[in-house]
């Protein structure tokens, strides 16, 4: 039996298939692959824009990725057979699933790369959603390197609300530098560290996914406007808003 | 902003048939109700079920939980065609003789009419007995793909696949109704719906 850190035969078979299928839909550009630790346990935390995200990651990353997958994906007999063979394990999202937490911690102890989507579900609008507190508690409890992953572009290719994918877009996948949290064995310590962990992780995901840059472009910094020194005399037209300085000076 | 841009769908009967009378007044072609915006008070004047004229907040009206000044609860029933699957049991998933988790074993798919009231969710299947879930008995709420899922008291999960409407809209609708029902029952403000409903 292969070591848990080694990819299974089915993982090896599915990797090029996933690469081929995703590659047919979207041009993928990866940055920061060197940030993925070459060995040892690590938690991969990507933002979730599309159904293509896990295929993109598992199809390209050099180490096998164990994905926390919603339990409804295991509903059909075929997927219940296939998904564990491609390193996925189920999580019941409608309750606190202690078993999935145990599986994550066990796989991290074995030195695996475990992928958890901290938003808990795909985004409806492509923007980063609130991070689940349960995931943050898990990060603080595990105390392994956390690699934030920003995915940008898969939402345009196949958003959650679309029935079919659209071709012609480029997806950027950026792996950030590993962040170290904890480990916090004590529950009170974990609770105290939650807000800071959320802030750090959220900022990292916003930067890596390009969302922070988009927000900066959409709302440029407010530049204070110099107040006119005197009120124009009656009959003198004030410069139009938006008129250039030379226009105003000419008048 | 014209009122029809604010309430593009009749909040009381749910019909997508709003008619613009003028910027402040809009009427519903389906139920013939007339809505009048009162901007100075941030409210909307609407005729109640018994013919009395009520003034309600816009947010409450859209959420369907407006409490009128006279004490009448304006709770429109929103309905949609849906496919419902109820999962009461769970099965273990093992790989290489190791337990890796649990998944719900879903029951048969029932198609029918789903209706959301101010205190419960009703489902009338095309055949078979009707099903009801009180909002105060919902433990968790989430969307999964194009479905809305609730976890009722007693365990399991109920999946509503919404046909002909947005699951996102339905998630928001169910959320606001649950929020209001819990608030009215004195359970506090809901801050989280998943993995379980948490209040402050």
**Distance in Å, alpha carbon of B125 to nearest chain A alpha carbon:** 22
CA B60 to CA B68: how far, in whole Å?
A: 10
Domain that holds residue A95: 9-156+192-218
Mean pLDDT along residues B68-80:
56
- Tell me what ipTM this predicted complex has: 0.75
Quote the pLDDT of residue A4. Answer: 76
Percent of chain B with pLDDT over 70: 82
**What per-residue confidence (pLDDT) applies to B171?**
87
For residue A22, what pLDDT is reported?
93
Measure CB to CB from residue A90 to each of B93, B145, B195 and give the nearest one: B93
Residues from chain A contacting residue B143 (CB–CB below 8 Å): 121
Whether omega for the bond prior to residue B145 falls within 30 degrees of 0, making it cis, is no
In this predicted structure, the answer to whether residue B181 has a pLDDT above a threshold of 90 is no
Q: A114 in a domain, yes or no?
A: yes
Give residue A220's pLDDT: 56
d(CA A209, CA A207): 6
Task: Please indicate whether, in this complex, the C-beta atoms of A75 and B195 are within 8 angstroms of each other.
Answer: no
Mutation target to probe the B interface, by most B beta carbons within 10 A, among A51, A67, A91, A94 is A94
pLDDT at A243: 44
What's the confidence (pLDDT) of residue A18? 94
**How near does any CA of chain B get to the CA of A34, in Å?**
30
* Range among A231-235, B34-38, B52-56, B108-112 rated most confident: B108-112
Contact present, A171 and A210 (Cβ < 8 Å):
no
Question: Quick check: A124 and B168 CB within 8 A?
Answer: yes
Residue A14 · residue A65 · CB < 8 Å: no
H-type alpha helices, chain A: 9-25, 53-60, 77-85, 98-109, 133-142, 154-157, 187-208, 211-218, 245-250
Q: Is residue A223 part of a domain?
A: no
Quote the CA–CA distance of B143 and B133 in Å, as a whole number: 17
Contact: A94, B166; criterion CB under 8 Å: no
Residue A106 domain flag: yes
Does residue A152 sit in helix, strand or coil? Answer: strand
Task: State the nearest Cα–Cα gap between B88 and chain A, in angstroms.
Answer: 13
**Structural domains of chain B in order of their starting residue, each with its CATH number:** 3-74 (no CATH), 78-199 (2.30.29.30)
Question: How far, in Å, CA of B84 to CA of B116, rounded?
Answer: 14
Strands B98-106 and A169-175: what pairing?
unpaired
Q: How many domains does chain A have?
A: 1
Q: Taking CB atoms and an 8 Å limit, are B140 and A161 in contact across chains?
A: no
CA distances from B63 to A33, A193, B184 (A): 46, 36, 14
pLDDT over 90 (residue B50): no
Domain presence at residue A67? yes
Interface check for B163 against chain A (CB to CB < 8 A): the answer is no
Whether A134 is covered by a domain: the verdict is yes
Query: CB–CB of B194 and A93 under 8 A?
Result: yes
B149 in contact with A, Cβ within 8 Å: yes
Across the range B76-86, mean pLDDT stands at 86
Cβ of B100 within 8 Å of Cβ of A75? The answer is no
Residue A170, domain member (yes or no): no
Q: How far is A218 from chain B (nearest CA, A)?
A: 24
Per the domain annotation, does A235 fall within a domain?
A: no
How many pairs of residues across A and B have Cβ atoms under 8 Å apart? 83
- What is the predicted pLDDT for the residue at B102? 92
* Residues of chain A contacting B190 with CB distance shorter than 8 Å: none
Q: Give the closest of A74, A96, A103 to B103, CB-based.
A: A74
Q: Look at residues A125, A135, A193, A132 and name the one whose alpha carbon lies nearest to residue A156.
A: A125
> Which of A171 and B36 is assigned the larger pLDDT?
A171
pLDDT value at residue B61: 67
pLDDT tens per residue, range B110-135: 999 999 888 899 999 998 899 999 99
Q: Looking at the domain assignment, is residue A228 inside a domain?
A: no
Q: Is residue B16 pLDDT above 50, yes or no?
A: yes
**B26: helix, coil or strand?**
strand
Asked if B101 is an interface residue toward chain A (Cβ–Cβ < 8 A), one would say yes
The pLDDT score that the predictor gives to residue B76 is 63
SS3 A133: helix
List residues bridging with B114 in a β-sheet.
B80, B123
Question: pLDDT tens per residue, chain A (251 residues)?
Answer: 567 778 999 999 999 999 999 999 999 999 999 999 999 999 999 999 999 999 999 999 999 999 999 998 998 889 999 999 999 999 998 888 999 999 999 999 999 999 999 999 898 888 899 999 899 999 999 999 999 999 999 999 999 888 889 988 999 999 999 999 978 888 898 999 999 999 999 999 999 998 877 766 666 555 555 544 444 443 444 444 444 444 444 43
Q: What digits encode the pLDDT tens for the residues B154-167?
A: 878 999 999 878 88
Taking the Cβ of residue B200 and every Cβ of chain A, the question of whether any pair is shorter than 8 Å is answered with: no
* DSSP-assigned letter for residue A194: H
Contact state of A94 with B95 under an 8 Å Cβ cutoff: no
Is A92–B103 a contact, with Cβ atoms under 8 angstroms apart?
yes
pLDDT band at B71, cuts 50/70/90? Answer: very low
- List the single residue in B with minimal CA-CA distance to A124: B168
């Amino acid at each position: 039996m292969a070591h848990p850190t080694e990819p299974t035969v089915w993982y090896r078979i599915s990797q090029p298939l996933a690469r081929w299928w995703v590659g047919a839909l979207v041009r993928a550009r990866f940055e920061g692959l060197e940030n993925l630790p070459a060995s040892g346990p690590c938690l991969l935390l990507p933002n979730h824009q599309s159904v293509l995200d896990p295929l993109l990651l598992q199809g390209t990353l050099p180490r096998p990725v164990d994905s926390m997958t919603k339990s409804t994906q295991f509903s059909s007999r075929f997927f219940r057979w296939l998904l564990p063979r491609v390193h996925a394990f189920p999580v019941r999202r409608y309750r606190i699933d202690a078993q999935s937490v145990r599986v994550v911690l066990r796989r991290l102890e074995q030195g695996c790369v475990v992928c958890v989507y901290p938003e808990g579900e795909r985004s409806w609008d492509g923007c980063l959603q609130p991070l689940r507190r349960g995931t943050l508690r898990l990060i603080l409890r595990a105390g392994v390197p956390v690699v934030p992953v920003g995915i940008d572009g898969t939402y345009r290719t196949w958003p959650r609300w679309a029935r079919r994918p659209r071709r012609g877009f480029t997806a950027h996948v950026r792996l950030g530098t590993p962040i170290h949290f904890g480990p916090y064995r004590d529950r009170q310590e974990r609770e105290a560290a939650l807000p800071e962990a959320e802030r750090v992780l959220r900022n990292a995901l916003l930067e890596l996914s390009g969302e922070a840059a988009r927000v900066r472009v959409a709302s440029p910094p407010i530049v204070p406007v110099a107040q006119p020194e005197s009120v124009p005399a009656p009959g003198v037209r004030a410069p139009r808003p938006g008129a250039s300085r030379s226009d105003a000076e000419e008048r | 902003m014209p009122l029809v841009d604010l309430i593009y769908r009749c909040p009381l009967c749910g019909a997508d048939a709003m008619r613009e009378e003028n910027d402040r007044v809009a009427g519903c072609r389906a139920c013939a109700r007339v809505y009048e915006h009162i901007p100075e008070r941030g409210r909307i004047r609407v005729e109640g079920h018994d013919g009395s004229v009520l003034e309600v907040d816009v947010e409450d009206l859209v959420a369907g939980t407006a409490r009128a000044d006279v004490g009448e609860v304006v709770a429109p029933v929103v309905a949609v065609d849906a496919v419902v699957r109820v999962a009461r049991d769970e099965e273990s998933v093992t790989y290489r003789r190791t337990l890796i988790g649990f998944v719900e074993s879903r029951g048969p798919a029932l198609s029918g009419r789903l209706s959301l009231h101010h205190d419960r969710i009703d489902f009338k299947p095309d055949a078979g007995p009707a099903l009801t879930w009180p909002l105060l008995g919902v433990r968790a709420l989430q969307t999964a793909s194009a479905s809305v899922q609730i976890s009722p008291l007693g365990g399991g999960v109920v999946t509503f696949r919404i046909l002909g409407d947005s699951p996102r809209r339905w998630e928001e609708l169910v959320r606001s109704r649950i929020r209001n029902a819990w608030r009215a029952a004195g359970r506090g403000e809901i801050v989280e719906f998943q993995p379980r409903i948490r209040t402050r």
